[in-house]
Amino acid sequence: MSLEESFQKLCVSGSEADSTPVKSLVFKPKTAKSATPVPVVVVALQTTTTPSPLIAQVTALKDPRLARDDLFKTFFKCDSAKAFTLAFLSNAETEFKLLIDNQLESLDDTTTLQLNDSLFIKKSALLQFLNGLAFKPQSVDFTQEVAKKEEPKKKQAAPTNAALEDAKLIGITVDKAKDFPGWYQQILTKGEMLDYYDVSGCYILRPPSYAIWENIQKWFDSRIKNIGVENAYFPMFVSSRVLEREKDHVEGFAPEVAWVTRAGSSELEEPIAIRPTSETVMYPYYAKWIQSYRDLPLKLNQWNSVVRWEFKHPQPFLRTREFLWQEGHTAFLTEKEATDEVLQILDFYAGVYEELLAVPVVKGTKTEKEKFAGGEFTTTVEGYIPQTGRGIQGATSHHLGQNFSKMFNLSVENPLGADHPKIFAYQNSWGLSTRVIGVMVMIHSDNKGLVIPPRVSQRQAVVIPVGITKKTTPEQRKQIHDSAYEIEKRLKQAGIRAFGDYNDNYTPGWKFSQYELKGVPLRIELGPKDIEKNQAVVVRRNDSRKYIVSLDELESRIPEILDELHNDLYNKAKEAFDTHRVIVNEWKDFVPNLNKKNVILSPWCGVTECEEDIKESSAKRDDGEEFEQDDKAPSMGAKSLCIPFQQPELKEGQKCVKCERKAVNYCMFGRSY
Amino acid sequence: MSLEESFQKLCVSGSEADSTPVKSLVFKPKTAKSATPVPVVVVALQTTTTPSPLIAQVTALKDPRLARDDLFKTFFKCDSAKAFTLAFLSNAETEFKLLIDNQLESLDDTTTLQLNDSLFIKKSALLQFLNGLAFKPQSVDFTQEVAKKEEPKKKQAAPTNAALEDAKLIGITVDKAKDFPGWYQQILTKGEMLDYYDVSGCYILRPPSYAIWENIQKWFDSRIKNIGVENAYFPMFVSSRVLEREKDHVEGFAPEVAWVTRAGSSELEEPIAIRPTSETVMYPYYAKWIQSYRDLPLKLNQWNSVVRWEFKHPQPFLRTREFLWQEGHTAFLTEKEATDEVLQILDFYAGVYEELLAVPVVKGTKTEKEKFAGGEFTTTVEGYIPQTGRGIQGATSHHLGQNFSKMFNLSVENPLGADHPKIFAYQNSWGLSTRVIGVMVMIHSDNKGLVIPPRVSQRQAVVIPVGITKKTTPEQRKQIHDSAYEIEKRLKQAGIRAFGDYNDNYTPGWKFSQYELKGVPLRIELGPKDIEKNQAVVVRRNDSRKYIVSLDELESRIPEILDELHNDLYNKAKEAFDTHRVIVNEWKDFVPNLNKKNVILSPWCGVTECEEDIKESSAKRDDGEEFEQDDKAPSMGAKSLCIPFQQPELKEGQKCVKCERKAVNYCMFGRSY
């Protein structure tokens, strides 16, 4: 231990009372598997906050995380993170970055610094030691603002040729076809659907997106209430004991669970988890409440938020650390009732996508590998994003079988009598989240802005007075405004979410762009000539198609046009999905078709190893990233999306697309979100 | 340090690898200020969970909490919790309790135990040392179930004479008049409104209570949308930097903030708070979004849950660690618009209480001491619980003035031009929580069970076939059932939340009790004689009043009866509040009137010190409790509840009820929740 000894010679005796505590932290950046990471050592005042995004920024390294023991061993020949002191830096043989807090540097040279319980050192001696290392330190102002994490990244990522030529600054400046992620982010923020938030991976749902969610809630809530589901609310907190009760289940969630360990200034005796989903939150109480088969079925649902602290790249609506959803949890006496309900709910989910969001989906069953951990089988609705050619899971309805009921002793006496075996309840759980909004935006919107399907849009039609010129007299102007307002009023009375923009400070053209950006389905223009002819000009957001509507038919025509718009959006999206869902029977055609932005229907053996092989074999192998990266999507392997209910006919003796086994059905594979 | 040295002699050399880690924790129970606490020392395997409720149970001490440094100094002559080792136990001169984990005891005698980084000891030596102390250790099985924290406490607390004589086990067994807290708990759990939850201070809202919340939401949501408020959703997480931005404000919440410090197995770099309310979550974004006075007003609301980790005794609905609420946050260009809205919202809140929940409230302004921290003024609706004579805050609507807008730079250019000073927005925030349900239950329900006002009740009328005897033929039985079902159907079509109970396994009497317990507002009985007479017997839940209703008038009479029921509930509660809201001009009458379960209207000077003096002077001083205790409610001092809008006339020269200053208005004081 000569190194440590030589370091200790630099040290002085000291005490907590008259020294300044200093921390030394070691980070590992995200690094390609084939490459050697460059560790980052941070030496800073205990009181200085050293956020990882800031470290990333000043070192130009990706996603630094606190290093684990293995890195300490490899780089610094130090047994563990716990045993590490700055002395070990002398052991390093390969490059590391060393960041020194400039507040520490600005201390008086004679200040005594406390490095750990027993190590004290003068500031001058510490800096001398650090400056003498093989790799030179960098001074860092940790109080500087971190540049917003995601926004600028996207902006940088946008190839310059993705800029839209005729884009005004106020509108969308990125081309959907050329820089899809940059476009997606712009469309959401400029369309005022959502804003980025101070805590990474969390987003603000602004009124236009929350209203979509409310419309979905209304539709879905009334349907589940019709089949006897009741709403309830369970707490967001779970004790670790309860969370961990179902092993398979918790394994799927454990890495993403957020833990509360402190309240005010008191440490909690036991950390408490924030629910990532509520199976284990609810079922102990189901077991308590269900005392007899007469208490079955029990069908509860809640509208709530859950937290999954994903470490992957967050994506608005699609992958967020907190998200809104509904989760239904039902328990039945018989398997048949339960499995019937699973499919009934799946139909409702398909309805949310197809009837409300104008998004086509494929219904099917998840493979063993992709099913809900702890459940019996998972049904799903799967969507498709044409720009990326990736599949996206829409919503899932799980049959849990008796797995949880046995774990939580959710059982009742057999209705046939006490001499028959008791029956464990058959359970389902099913969930639909705000992710649906992201899917909807990705599919319909365009380079002018959002396109929001009319049945969910907060505002369905905007009335805009036009044809007002300098020559227009005040009386004429008033007449136009009054007539426009009358249209707005009549539409509202007819139950259409209409509004008017009568602000004279803006030109009609400016207003058109505004409401195109925001995705209002219909624009209703009314000018002097229209009034003469007792008509209005109605323009569809999605394709600028114009309708001349007689004012006498307003209340009947506008709903029709809204419905046509919905159907056209749906049909267009369906055509894209249908033409990019191709049947591939031979492996040689698999990856080429994947690369053509298709999802693939292939005969498959149903074996998990083969599924993993397909994923591996269809991935680009040279990406070298430790983690899956969204912007490297084409490198991704194909996952199984679902085994569609609607199956192409399987030929006699058809083999699996990948292996030598016999195919048991067609499975839909694709790169996915 | 001879003590430590002598302890160290018992120690051996060891290493982490081959020893079993042991923790020693010191707790301080809740103790009267005048008494000496008895610390509890727990020696347990590191892996053993030692929940505080269990420690309370085995020691019969109240609310043990991890002790602070001062206790270590006083009792063990040890500088700090950090410096503590078991050696210091020898220093104790007054009593302490020593609990030893029986799993530790069951280890092999030769096992090496690790006490801290450097202290290792054989198990036999440790036990020898512990057994040699002045106060004898107690062996504890920490794996035992903790008896439910609140339930048994209440049951024990219930004086035996509070038991209802004619109570069946299935119904309420505690008398509202004699053991109000015990009754409240029973009524909620047996009425299936709510269940107690695994995490203390959190409760499950079961369908009957959640449905009440949904009905309130529907009513309130449509009203705020009518005045231009839009719904949105902001994340539940707040960074400490943002949370702490408004000093006065955060001080009010800091002790109750829950902190997430870990995700999966990774420590977060910075702890993240769960919102206790969203002012500081939202306003940075308001400042970003509001770029011009044309962007004002901005009126957003969210329906969400917030977390306040209260350490006081939790109470279902009234004081819970997580609760559901709505929080509205609005920003205006002018003060007038803002203050008008504050009162408009307060009227809606009064409407929720009076028009939906049949609960009378007094509208008023909070005193400086009781207003929302960081705001300009707070308006409130205050209710009254007759059984305890305590006031209860119903909901609050705050005018924040420009305090937050200056803090967050929420400003716009003056509409008069750039040469005029910029204007900071005038802001409001307002919230109504699920607490309303608790108030409603306390006021209307009785010894037969819940009484739920009809406008919010999940189910408004139950149809029950009666008069079926052994002599009834199957045809007659079918006719009765069919007629009853027909009534149910007709009521549903008329928009009444009706249902029927046609189960032949239970007697009508049993069903009557069931639905009385659950608070269904109306029972509709239908027997053979009723069918003959083309009528039904309608019985009100609240007072068993009977109506004979002709089946021809069903659709018109039932809504009338529901409205009458609502009005009668309201009037009864109003009379109780009115008769217990007394004017007291002289201090000598203050406490006696308080003790008669009154809230008090007194002339008051408006000075905070005087308000504190009133509270102090009206409290029983000999309670000796460190914390306020709910079951000691009569000992509580009177707080100011509000300065009612509706003021008794102040006499010329009237002095403050408590001090020598001149009164400025009447203030409502009372013991409160």
> Six-digit token pair at B623?
């309670």
The CATH code of the domain that includes B55 is: 3.90.960.10
- Examine the domain organization and report whether A557 and A467 are in the same domain: yes
Q: How far is A484 from chain B, CA to nearest CA, in Å?
A: 20
* Residue contact B204–A239, C-beta within 8 A: no
Contact check, Cβ <8 Å, A231/B239: no
Average pLDDT (A524-534) is 96
Q: Rounded to 10 degrees, what is the CA torsion of B535, B539, B540, B542? A: 170
A118 to A121, B47, B437, B585: CA distances (angstroms) = 10, 28, 57, 67
CA gap B503, B483 in Å, rounded: 15
Cβ of A230 and B207 within 8 Å? yes
> Is B322 within 8 Å of A255 when comparing Cβ atoms?
no
pLDDT of res. A11 = 84
The alpha-carbon gap from A301 to the nearest alpha carbon of chain B, in Å, equals 9
Task: Please answer yes or no on whether A242 and B198 come within 8 Å at the CB atom.
Answer: yes
Last residue of a domain, one of A140, A163, A193: A140
Q: Which residues of A223-241 are buried (b: 16+ CB within 10 A; e: fewer)?
A: bbeeeebbbbbbbbbbbee
Residue numbers in A near B238 (CB within 8 A): 198-199
Residues on chain A touching B233 (C-beta within 8 angstroms): 204-205, 210, 213, 305, 324
Interface contact flag, A264 B242, Cβ < 8 Å: no
Residue A210 in tokens: 């929350």
How far is Cα A362 from Cα B252, in angstroms, rounded to an integer? 52
Same domain for A185 and A299, yes or no, is yes
User: Is A202 in Cβ contact with B232 (below 8 Å)?
Assistant: no
Q: Is residue A479 part of a domain?
A: yes
Cβ–Cβ of B322/A288 closer than 8 Å?
A: no
| Nearest residue, CB atoms, B261 vs list A204, A262, A305 | A262
Nearest chain B residue to A323 by CA: give it: B235
Which pLDDT score, from 0 to 100, does residue A158 have?
40
Contacts of A242 in chain B (CB under 8 A): 198
- Nearest CA of chain B to the CA of A193: how many Å? 10
Preferred mutation among B63, B169, B204 to probe A, highest tally of A CBs within 10 A:
B204
Q: H helices within B548-630, ranges in order? A: 554-579, 590-595, 608-617
Does the beta-carbon distance from A238 to B199 stay under 8 Å? yes
pLDDT at A625 over 70: no
| Contact yes or no for B198 and A284 at CB 8 A | yes
Query: What 3 state SS string does A615-662 have?
Result: HHHCCCHHHCCCCCCHHHHHHCCCEEEEEECCCCCCCCCCECCCCCCE
- The one-letter code for the residue type at A361 is V
Is there a domain that residue B245 lies in?
Answer: no
User: Which has more pLDDT, B269 or A340?
Assistant: A340
Strands (E), B135-193: 137-140
The alpha carbon of residue B270 is apart from the nearest alpha carbon of chain A, in Å, by 7
Position A170 scores a pLDDT of 66
Q: Are A555 and A491 in contact (CB under 8 A)?
A: yes
Is-above-0.90 flag for pTM? no
Based on the domain organization, do B405 and B327 belong to the same domain? Answer: yes
**CA-to-CA distance for B458 and A17, rounded, in angstroms?**
63
Q: How far is B413 from chain A (nearest CA, A)?
A: 17
Q: Which of B124, B140, B156 is where one domain is finished?
A: B140
Nearest to B205 among A66, A232, A265 (CB): A232
pLDDT at A59 over 80: yes
Residues A530, A641 within the same domain? no
Measured between CA atoms, how close is A370 to chain B, in angstroms? 21
Reading the block at residue A637, the tokens are 């392997």
Which pLDDT does position B153 carry in this prediction?
Answer: 39
User: Chain A: residue nearest B233 by CA?
Assistant: A205
Nearest to B233 among A65, A205, A321 (CB): A205
Which chain B residues touch A237 with a CB distance below 8 Å? 199, 202, 321-322
For B270, the closest of A51, A203, A239 (CB atoms) is: A51
Q: Which residue has the tokens 């992709």?
A: A370
Is the Cβ pair B262, A259 closer than 8 Å? Answer: yes
A611 and A525 inside one domain: no
pLDDT band at A161 (very low <50, low <70, confident <90, very high): low
CB atoms B231 and A237 under 8 Å: no
Range A413-433 average pLDDT:
95
Contact A231 B211 (CB under 8 A): yes
A49 and B270 within 8 Å at the Cβ level: the answer is yes
A20's enclosing H/E stretch is: strand A20-28
Q: A350 and A473 in one domain?
A: no
Which residues in chain B have their CB less than 8 angstroms from residue A272's CB?
199
Interchain pair A204, B235: CB under 8 A: yes
Number of Cβ within a 10 Å radius of residue B659: 16
* B413 lies in the same domain as B479: no
Looking at residue B168, its pLDDT comes to 52
Report yes or no on A251 lying in a domain. Answer: no
List chain A residues with CB under 8 Å of B52: 269
Residue B595 lies in a domain: yes
CB A447 within 8 A of CB A458: no
- Which residues in chain B have Cβ-Cβ distances shorter than 8 Å to A210? 230-233
Examine residue B666 and state whether it is found in any structural domain, yes or no: yes
Of the candidates B259, B265, B289, which has its C-beta nearest A261's C-beta?
Answer: B259
| Beta carbons of B274 and A254 less than 8 Å apart | no
Residues of A in contact with B288 (CB under 8 A): 195
Q: Of the candidates B51, B202, B260, which has its C-beta nearest A270's C-beta?
A: B51
Low pLDDT (below 70) residues in chain B: 1-3, 33-34, 147-170, 620-635
Q: Are A288 and A378 in the same domain? A: yes
* Contact yes or no for B202 and A235 at CB 8 A: yes
Taking alpha carbons only, the member of B311, B241, B305, B295 closest to residue B273 is B241
Quick one: A54 and A82 in the same domain?
yes
Contacts of A285 in chain B (CB under 8 A): 195, 204
Band of pLDDT at residue A6, cut at 50, 70 and 90: confident
Q: Is residue A615 part of a domain?
A: yes
Q: Write the ipTM.
A: 0.77
- B469 and B545 fall within a common domain: yes
Q: Between A and B, how many residue pairs show a Cβ–Cβ distance under 8 A? A: 166
| Any domain includes A559 | yes
Alpha carbon of A144: minimum distance to chain B alpha carbons (Å): 13
Q: Is the pLDDT of residue A154 over 50?
A: no
For residue B644, the enclosing domain spans 584-670
Closest-CA residue of B relative to A288 is: B195
Looking at the structure, do residues B640 and B544 belong to the same domain, yes or no? no
* CATH number, domain with residue A657: 3.30.110.30
Nearest to A206 among B207, B232, B284 (CB): B232
Q: Do B274 and A260 touch (CB under 8 A)?
A: yes
Q: Which residues of A touch B230 (CB under 8 A)?
A: 207, 210-211
Is B329 inside any structural domain? yes
Shortest Cα distance, chain A CAs vs residue B145, angstroms: 12
What is the overall mean pLDDT for chain A? 90
Comparing alpha-carbon positions, the chain A residue that sits nearest to B201 is A235
- Choose among B52, B207, B304: nearest Cβ to A231: B207
Q: Which residues of B touch A293 (CB under 8 A)?
A: none
The pLDDT tens digits of the residues spanning A236-253 come to 999 988 888 877 778 888
Question: Rounded CA gap, A375 and B110, in Å?
Answer: 46
Task: Name the one residue in this structure whose structure tokens are 């000077």.
Answer: B605
CATH number at residue A474: 3.40.50.800
Beta bridge partners of B395: B381
Judge: A49–B258 Cβ closer than 8 Å, yes or no: no
* pLDDT tens digits, A390-400: 999 999 999 99
Instruction: Kindly state the helix (H) or strand (E) to which residue A499 belongs, with its residue range.
Output: strand A498-500
Question: Are B465 and B420 members of one domain?
Answer: no
Per the model's pLDDT, the better-predicted residue between B324 and A87 turns out to be B324
- Count the domains in chain B: 4
Q: A603 to chain B, minimum CA–CA distance in Å?
A: 38
Chain-chain contact of B322 with A235 (C-beta, under 8 angstroms): yes
